[in-house]
Each structure stands twice: as C-alpha cells, then as structure tokens.
A and B are shown apart, each in its own frame.
Chain A
Amino acid sequence: MAFVAPFDLVGGALVVLVASGGAGLLPSASSRRATVGALSLALLGCLLLVAVALEVLLGGAAGTITVALPGFQSASNALSLAIVLGPLQGLFLLLLGAVGGAITLASVGYVPAYVHERPATLAGIYGLFVGSMALLVLSGTAFLFLVAWEGMTLLSYVMVVHEHGSWDVRRAGLTYLVMSHAAAAALLAGFVVLYVGTGSTNFAAMSAEARALPELTRDAVFVAMVLGFGTKAGVVPLHVWLPEAHPAAPSNVSSIMSGIMIKMGVFGLLLVVFEVLGGGPLWWGFVLLVLGAASALLGVLNAIAQHDVKRLLAFSSVENIGIIFMALGTALVFLSLGWPALAAVALLAAILHTFNHAMFKGLLFLGAGAVVGTTGTRDMEQMGGLARGMPRTAIAFLFGAMAISALPPLNGFVSEWLLFQAFFASFGTGSLATEVAFTAAAGTLALASGLAAYCFVKAFGVIFLARPRSEVARSVRSDAPAAMQGGMIALAGACVAVGVFPVLLLSTFAGTVRTITGASYSTSPWAWGAPLAFPSASGAATPSVPPHGSLAIGVVALLLMVVLLAATVLRRVTSNGSPARRPMWDCGMDAPTPRMEYTASGYAQPILRLFSVFYGAHPVSELGDLGGARPGVLQKTVRHESEVDYPLMEQVYSPIVRLVRELARRVSRLQSGGIHAYLAYMVLTLVVLLVASRLFGGVLP
C-alpha cells in the first residue's frame, strides 16, 4: 500500500528540516532568499510528515516499528535510542505536518514582510524547531524524548526572544526559560522513577512493567508528569509563562507555539499517563478535571480583560488547554471506573479539541500577526475598521473566531459537543460523586464557552469593525502577503471541513482510542451522518453511550446551508432592483466619531464587574459631573479604569519566589570568597565520604 517505506519518509522529513535550519542559519548572500528557502524546506518537511502520518493512520503501517540506532542497542541501557511509529505518533505527526504546514506556508509570507531583524535566522531556527517536535513525537525511549523536549524548549526560547531589543521580550523569555526548566526537571524525575521501577527507558518495555509498579511510585510519576507536561501545555496555575511568551514572540512563532507546541504537553500526557501507565486511580482523573476547569474559566476571564490582542489570544489558549484537560480527566475517570466506551468518547473529545484548537488558534494568531504587523501595535484600542483595508484577513479571522466560540457548523462545536456528551453520559452510571462532579464540569464548560464567544465578539468587533480608532488604523490599505493569506484560508477551510465532516478526522483516531481504552467505534468515512457506535465495548457494568451521542451535524449543517442558500436565492429573485444606500442613523447627533464607539475596555466592563473576584482589582469609574442644580444628572465625562492582576498568581508564586530568594541568601553565606573556606569544604566532603564509605561500604555498590 505504501509507496515509500514510512521510515524512509521519516528520515527524509528530518533531513529536510535540518537542511531548513542550515539554509537559514548558514551565511548567505541574500537574506531574503535564505529566509524563503529555509521556510520552503520547512514546508516540505511538514508535507513529508503528513505523508508519514497518512501511511500510519490510513495505510495501516500497523503496530509499532522500533529502530534501535547503532551503538545504543542494549535494551537495558538507559541511554538507548529508538524511533517509534504508532497510532498516537501518527496522530501528532498529522497535527504537526498539516496544521504546522499551514502555519509554515503563512510564515513564508509573514517573515520576509514583518520581521525586520535577522529574518533568515528566525526562519532557520523555525525549521529546526519543527524538526525537534517531529523527533519528540517519534521518540521511542525516554532518553530521546527528553533530548528532543529540551531541543524544542530551547529553540522556542530563542525564537521568543528574537526581538530581544526590548526589555519586556527578554523578561518574557526568562520567565519562559525558568518555567520550562522546572518542568523539564519534573519530567526527568518522573522518567527516572519509571526507569528505576521498570528497568527500561523504552516506552514499549516500560508500559509492560509500569502497570505492576507500587501505587505510590505510580502516583509520584503521575504528579511529576502533570507538573512537567502541564507547564508546557499552560494549564492553571502553571501557565504564567504563556501570556508573557506568546505576545513577545514573532506572530508566526506564537502561532506554531500556541497551535502545536503546547499540544506536545497533551501528547506527553497521552503517551505516559494513558499508554505507559495505562490510567490510574480515580483521583488522577479528578486532578486533571479540576485543573482543566480552573484553566478554562480563568483563561477565558483573563482573555476578556486584555486589550493586547496577542495576550488575549494567549489567555484563550489557556482556556482551550483547560477544555482539553477536562476531557482527558474525564477519560481517566471513566477508565478507572471501567467504562471504556465512555472513556473513548471523552478521549475523542480531547484529541479532536487538540486538533481543533491547533487549527483555529493557529489561524487567529496568524490573523493577529497580519494586523499587528500592518498597524505596528498590539493595542486593540488603536485598531478598528480594519475589515475595509484587510478584507481577507478579516474573513479568515472571523472564521477562527466563530470556530473558537464553538458555533456550529464549525469544528470547535463538534469537540465541545462530544465532551458534553461524555459529561451527560455519566448520568445513569449510578455513581453520585461522578454525577455531581460532571454536572459541575458541564456547567463550567458551558460558562467558559459562552464567555469565549463574548471574548471573540470583542476581539473581532474591536479590531475589524466600526471606524478606525487611530491614524495608523485609518491608513491601512494593504492586506497580508499572499502566502500568509493562503495559510490562513487553508486553516479556515479546515475549520469548516472538520466542522461539517468530523468523522473524516475522527476515523483517524481509532487506533489510538483502541490502544488506550480497548473500545472501537464505527468510522466509515462515507456514513458521516451516522452515530458513533461502540460495538465492542459492552461490559456488564458499562452504561451505554446515549443514542443522542451522534455526530449527525454533517447532515444538519448541510441542511442549514441549503436553507440559507435557498433563502438568499429567493431574496435575490423576489427583490426588485438593487439595494438602496442611505446614510446611517446617528441617533440625532451629527457626524458620529470613533470616540463614540465601544472601546475594548468598555465592552469588557460588565464581565470585569461581574467576576471581579477573579481579577483582584475592582474597576474604578469616575463620573465628571457637569454640575448644575441637580448633581449627577448631567455627566460631562465618564472614565473607567480597571487594572487587572492575578490575585491567584500573587498567592501561588510570591511565596515560591520569596522562598527561593531566602534560600539563595542563606546559600550565599557559604560563598565567603576566602580560598581556605572552599578548601575546607573539599576536605570536609572528602572526610565525610571516607567515613561513609567505611560505615556503609557493604551497602553501597
């Protein structure tokens, strides 16, 4: 079936991506040619990754192929290397190749047009970054995984601080680097515990042993993994780097970081917690569920409060990662209760939302990049009316905004709908605790989705609609570069396609879902209106998947489109003549100015007041009274001021920072600077070691 062996393709893709790095980083006569060359190679690499993914997912490169690299053969060697292609790997290669490919295509337009400092360097590092993520997904051993993980982190750090002239950017980069290293330390600890317990770093060998490990060991691994992968994914309260790093990076980098890199945290959890550890006790699931719910709610509330468009999108990523974590937690809960069919529904929701978020958040960051690049500001209060100057960007952004607000028939709706199905399915399971928990979860998800819609009405409206609020916004005449439009349109098209024909994408998840839950479902791509069926998952205690858990929205959407089309045609036919153009009604004032428009802050006011608990500071309003006989009736000016900070962050991170400072101060006393002190430390250490070797000589190896 496969024309080229999948591993040849994998090798080819990695070589091409490394070549992309070389093209960008090696000295070159023409910076522009080097930039475009490097990004084109990266695009080719992405396409090869898609080919690999399709061979694995559809072509049935069945099972897992392990290649032990020469020199590292021994299975017991902790430093062994292996590359693995399985269903889960195929899925994330598809995500990286397809969505990453669209973002890379857009980068071909973005980088030469908007990045003024060292564009070729950025392009080269970008290619290597894509390569490091591919290697991460393909790792068959913990050692290779950690190496690729660090590579991914460091390369993304370099891209975040690309415009390092500004202090904010350097500070954001430092936050990102510190958090990432703490996360990597947690992962290293987790993998070391797994290695000691199972005697192997090979994931396949580990997963055979890991299920029999003592409960406490498994719990420790789980906690370490949640800390490590949760930080990369950006789940509350480990998300603090995310709203700093995303705005600081060039926009195509924010796009691929938010769209794909943070999903590597999800990949890690699926790989280690689900595939290697094989799920765990009930509380694991609830930990993920609670973290996810907190992220979803706090993420979207913070997003609403922002007037920096890229910060807004970054906080919205926190929200969506929260939704994915809620779905993962739900799957874990159902697994531990022994209901694989329900776990499969939640897992489908998690993976689908991972894909969906990559598509629409990648798209939105690209749109924001075009807007920020053109206007030169990230402040939404300086924008407005950009739909006139940049119509294609506006349309693409609108699709992204609708998809992220979970409006049918777009893709965001499908994954959230599936997750609601999983929540509601817990009724009838007879367990009061889960019923209560999932009712609360459903409420949280509903609230978060509604607020997300509110947030993106604000984003789209303030940026693209109404009249320009500033001189720069008024002077915008040209749309984004063609390649960038191409990338955005491709992503917007994907949002629609997955929204209307979700089963096309869902069918590729079958292998992963079967590996993890043991449940399988019918995914004939042609029966896209058919409900999901779980023929093999009928255990005695398994509640059936409710009959309304169907994905018939393809049919509904098509019907809706037909109706809309018919209505439009009917209107055209029945209306006589062309529409008349009249001046806008201005409420009796003459000549409305941009000052009369809703501002971004003004639009956010109701939510800020309603949820002021979560924002820390209460918004201040000042009414400038015109005076006169009855004060308070006629107001000359109204001023709103709301400073948003994170009370939660203050409480969580300040003690940690203080503790570290205090410890550092104490440790610094050891650093007396006197050479005798350092020599004395050496002597003391030596004496202690000698005595210890004498006392415990028989115990130590």
Chain B
Amino acid sequence: MTSDGLLLLEIAASVVLVTAWIALVHRRLDAQVRLYAIQSLALAVISGLVAYLYSAPLLYLTGALFAALNGALLPWILLTVRRELRIPPEANMLVSVRGSALAGLGCLLLAVAVVGPLTPLAAVPAAGLLPISVTVVLVGLFVTVSRRKAFSQVLGILVMENGVFLAGLALTYGLGLLLELGIAANLLVLAIVSRLFLHRMKDSFDSLDADVLRSLEG
C-alpha cells in the first residue's frame, strides 16, 4: 500500500515536472495557464498523498486550499484578464522554442547536480521531489526572463511559486498551514495587483510589452 502511495507520488511529481517543461515550450498563453492549473492540481494531489503517507492531516486542508486557489481561482483570473485586455494569444518569445526546450533541460541538469548531493540528508519523500522542485523554480524564472509580455512574467512567477511549494512539501511535509495560508493570500494579492498593473500598463503605453518600460529609463 505504501509502495503504491510512493508510486502515485512519483507519478504526480512527474506531472509537475512535465507540465512545467511543456509550459516552457508552449506558444499559446491560454494553454500555458491551463498547464499551470494542471500542475497546481498535481501539487494538491502530492499534498494529499504526503498527508496520507506520513499522517499529517493538516496537509489535506493545505492540498484542498491549493487546489481551489492555484488550481482554479488563479487560472480563472488569468484567463479572464487575458480576454478582457485582449492580449494576443501567442506568447512573444525572446528565446526560440528549441532554445527554451534546451534551457529547460539545462535547468533539470543544474537542479540535479546541485541538489542531488543533498537528498540523502532528507528522508523520503524528499529524495525525488527536491530536484524537481528546484527545476520548477528555475523554469519559472526562465519563463519570466525569456518572454516579452508582462502576462508571461506573471505566469512565470506563479510557476516559481509552485516550485517553492513543492520544496516545502519535500523538506518539511508541508510548510505548515498558517504559512501556506499566508502564501496563498500573497498569491491572490499578486494576481490582483498584476491585474491592475496590466490594466494601467495598457492604458499608459497602449501595450503589454514589458520592453516599453525602457522608456522610463532616466
């Protein structure tokens, strides 16, 4: 039974990794948001599995909250914003699809190289999860750097946030409910603020290309 649980854990973790990677190479913004939603749901599943395997009942609540907020509410806000502001559905990529794919691979290698030696320190479930969480953080960071649209940058930060959540699960069996609630509230604020910010940007510059911020240079 426990081994089944661990297998499920690994499958869910692979889903997190793969969604991050596909989101990295995907051109369509809506698809990216949906990938983010899937990733968040997978993380919620992981949360529940960890709660079951290591009898940490609070993690059920965390997982449920995570599914509701990151898996449903945030993606919904993002999709609405995209439609309202009439942001073109194509991501404007600074790095080509091929380059991005390679960069994603690089992130994975770097994460394994850096975190690999640390994993024996931590007990299961960390062993597999920690390199994946670092990879997801790095991928999210790369998304913020390599996309021209402010919308993509918000998405990248959300992906990073998921990576941090996974790391928290891996290392501490959940960051603790209170902390998680704080982070969730933070994310919500981020979503609202970025929504306002995107509106303002649209009004001021008539564009959502972060490059126009260059004109603010002193």
Q: What is the interface of chain A, defined by CB distance below 8 A to chain B? A: 671-676, 679-680, 682-683, 686-687, 690-691, 693-694, 697
A676-B110 in contact (CB<8A): no
**Residues in A whose Cβ lies below 8 Å from that of B213:** 673-675
B142, B144, B215 interface centre (most CB from chain A within 10 Å) = B144
From 182 to 218 in chain B, residues with beta carbon under 8 angstroms from any chain A beta carbon are 210-211, 213-217
Please give the distance in Å from B208's CB to the nearest CB on chain A. Answer: 12
Q: Is the CB of A683 within 8 A of B210?
A: no
Q: Is B73 an interface residue (CB 8 A)?
A: no
- Interfacial chain A residues near B217, Cβ < 8 Å: 671-673
Residue numbers in A under 8 Å from B144 (CB-CB): 679
Given contacts A676-B148, A679-B145, 10 further A-B contacts (CB under 8 A): A672-B214, A673-B214, A674-B211, A674-B213, A674-B214, A675-B153, A675-B210, A683-B141, A690-B110, A691-B114
**B211 partner residues in chain A, CB cutoff 8 A:** 674, 676
Number of interface residues of B (CB under 8 A): 20
For residue A687, which residues in chain B have a CB less than 8 angstroms away from its CB?
A: 110
Give CA–CA (A270, B144) in the complex, Å.
Answer: 56
Q: Which residues of B are found within 8 Å of A676, using beta-carbon distances?
A: 94, 145-146, 148, 210-211
> In the complex, which residues 75-114 of chain B have their Cβ closer than 8 Å to any Cβ of chain A?
94, 110, 113-114
| Residue B117, interface by CB 8 Å | yes
Could you tell me if B141 and A686 are in contact, using CB atoms closer than 8 angstroms?
A: yes
Q: How far is the CA of A694 from the CA of B148 in the complex (A)?
A: 32
Q: How many A-B residue pairs have CB under 8 A?
A: 42
Look across to chain A and name the residue whose beta carbon is closest to the beta carbon of B216.
A673
Sample of 17 A–B contacts (CB below 8 Å) = A673-B214, A673-B217, A674-B210, A674-B214, A675-B213, A676-B145, A676-B211, A680-B145, A683-B142, A683-B145, A687-B110, A690-B110, A691-B114, A693-B114, A694-B113, A694-B114, A694-B117
CB neighbours of A679 from chain B (8 A): 141, 144-145, 153
Complex interface: chain A residues within 8 A of B215 (CB): 673
Contact A691:B110 (CB < 8 A) given known A674-B214, A697-B117 = yes
The smallest C-beta distance from B93 to any residue of chain A, in angstroms, reads: 12
- Could you tell me the distance in whole angstroms from the C-beta of B15 to the nearest C-beta in chain A? 25
Nearest chain-A residue to B210 (Cβ)? A675
Closest A residue to B94 by beta carbon equals: A676
- In angstroms, Cα B146 to Cα A683, docked, is 11
Q: Which residue of chain B has its CB nearest to the CB of A690? A: B114
Cα separation A341 to B144 with both chains bound (whole Å): 72
8 A-B pairs closest in CB distance: A673-B217, A673-B214, A679-B145, A675-B210, A690-B114, A680-B145, A694-B114, A674-B214
Could you tell me the distance between the alpha carbons of A676 and B209 in the complex, rounded to whole angstroms? 11
- Give the Cβ gap from B95 to chain A, nearest Cβ, in Å: 10
Q: A residues within 8 A CB of B210? A: 674-676
Q: Which of B114, B145, B153, B217 has the most CB of A within 10 A?
A: B145
